[in-house]
Amino acid sequence: MTHFPSQVYATRLLKAQQLATAAGTPLVITPGPDLAYLTGIVSESFERLTALVVTDSGFGLVVPRLELAILKDSAVPGLGAAGVELAVLDWVDGDDAYALVLDLLAGASTVAVADALPALHLVPLLDRGLKVHLATDVLRRLRMVKDPAELDELRAAGAAIDRVHARVPQILRAGRTEREVADDIAAAIVEEGHTEAAFVIVGSGPHGADPHHEVSDRVIEAGDVVVVDIGGPLASGYNSDCTRTYALGEPAPEIAEQYALLERAQRASVEAVRPGVTAEAIDAAGRDVLAAAGLGEFFLHRTGHGIGLSVHEEPYIVAGNDLPVQAGMAFSIEPGIYFSGRWGARIEDIVIVTEEGCEPVNTRSHGLTIL
């Protein structure tokens, strides 16, 4: 993972400290997207504990000595020059890593932990008498509103996945299996600038009615409507996610009419996006279009999800979420219609909330592409 200048991470750490202090609870952050966001450290949670501790008095990182190399490719070496002192406490097998965490907590009895903290490391903290709750509220306030560098990465990711969709007409054809098509799309995702294909959904014919269908050995047939939902991370760790629907041949009039309604619904939700509008209102804008046309029951999921270092993160664009969106937030707008056993369709763009409205990062046409 390439990372931003150390000053970016220093600013994020100081903001996390301010929020944690205001909440009255130190933070314990283990490997995952939250740790990557705060420090640029990309690692997995193994049986040996790695943890960032944020208190009102400072920052500490507990890390196994044999994994110290991960720090070299992160923002950690430059944090001091950026104005943040991060104490690195390394340990070897036989040491009590959890005691080091307690030392950094300096007597605090309650901590907030990242969602990604595994039970393997949570239980030993509980056994030492700590009261634990999730740091979701603090961390989501940090990650939901993207800074300019993050937004540039999301724009680059959107452009990269648009280039992949531009290649789909050369890959998707009758007589090939979903798996064969998906394999070629996955290769194109990497060729167009991603480090990997995080997911490739190719739902042909009746499989398009399953929103999370991935791939099978079904042979794609002439006349099929095919849902292609694809994405992955750039070297920065920021993700793309875009869905387009393709038709192998001229669709039946009913399908064309229903797809046109889906386009109207997607456009209505996009046009509803502006600062101060709630997530649930954005969801309702498109959902109401489909409901008025008698298609409401065929829209089976929320309208969207935030995106960044995780493909799915807050804010969630869903009924019941009264969160007002803010400039700098980025999320998907992806209504779909699904007719069990027959066909399905989905249109998905990532949008960035601006001061005036929103900016789609996916610009390739989302009309029903006829092959």
Q: Kindly tell me if the per-residue pLDDT of 339 is higher than 90.
A: yes
Q: Which residues contact 315 (CB under 8 A, 6 or more apart)?
A: 140, 144, 279, 305, 306, 321, 323, 325, 329, 331
Angle ∠(157,31,139) on CA atoms, nearest 5? 70
Do 73 and 110 fall into the same domain?
yes
Residue 22 half-sphere exposure toward CB, CA atoms < 13 A: 10
Looking at residue 212, which CATH number applies to its domain?
Answer: 3.90.230.10
| Alpha-helical segments (H) within 172-252 | 178-191
**Overall domain count for the chain:** 2
Do 101 and 31 fall into the same domain?
yes
Mean pLDDT of the 222-251 span: 97
pLDDT digits (tens, 9 = 90+) for 143-185: 999 999 999 999 999 999 999 999 999 999 999 999 999 999 9
Q: Kindly tell me if the per-residue pLDDT of 1 is higher than 80.
A: no
Do 237 and 114 fall into the same domain?
no
Mean pLDDT rounded to a whole number for the chain: 95
Do 171 and 128 fall into the same domain?
no
CB atoms within 10 A of CB 234: 18
Question: How high is the pLDDT of residue 31?
Answer: 93
| Residue ending a domain, choose from 143, 171, 190 | 143
Percent of the chain with pLDDT over 70: 100
DSSP H or E run through 279: helix 279-292
Do 195 and 121 fall into the same domain?
no
Under DSSP, the state recorded for 208 is G
| Residue ending a domain, choose from 143, 162, 187 | 143
Name the E strands within the chain. Answer: 27-29, 51-55, 58-64, 86-91, 110-113, 131-134, 199-204, 225-231, 242-247, 304-306, 313-317, 330-333, 336-339, 343-346, 349-353, 358-360, 369-370
Do 89 and 156 fall into the same domain?
no
Do 327 and 186 fall into the same domain?
yes
Q: Check if the beta carbon of residue 276 is closer than 8 Å to that of residue 207.
A: no
Question: How high is the pLDDT of residue 55?
Answer: 96
Q: Return the minimum-mean-pLDDT range out of 45-49, 205-209, 235-239.
A: 45-49
Under DSSP, the state recorded for 252 is P
Mean pLDDT of the 348-363 span: 96
Mean pLDDT of the 25-37 span: 95
Tokens of 143: 């990650």
* Residue 1 domain flag: no
Full domain range(s) for residue 85:
6-143
pLDDT digits (tens, 9 = 90+) for 90-147: 999 999 999 999 999 998 899 999 888 899 999 999 999 999 999 988 888 899 999 9
pLDDT confidence tier of residue 302, bands split at 50, 70 and 90 = very high
Question: How high is the pLDDT of residue 45?
Answer: 79
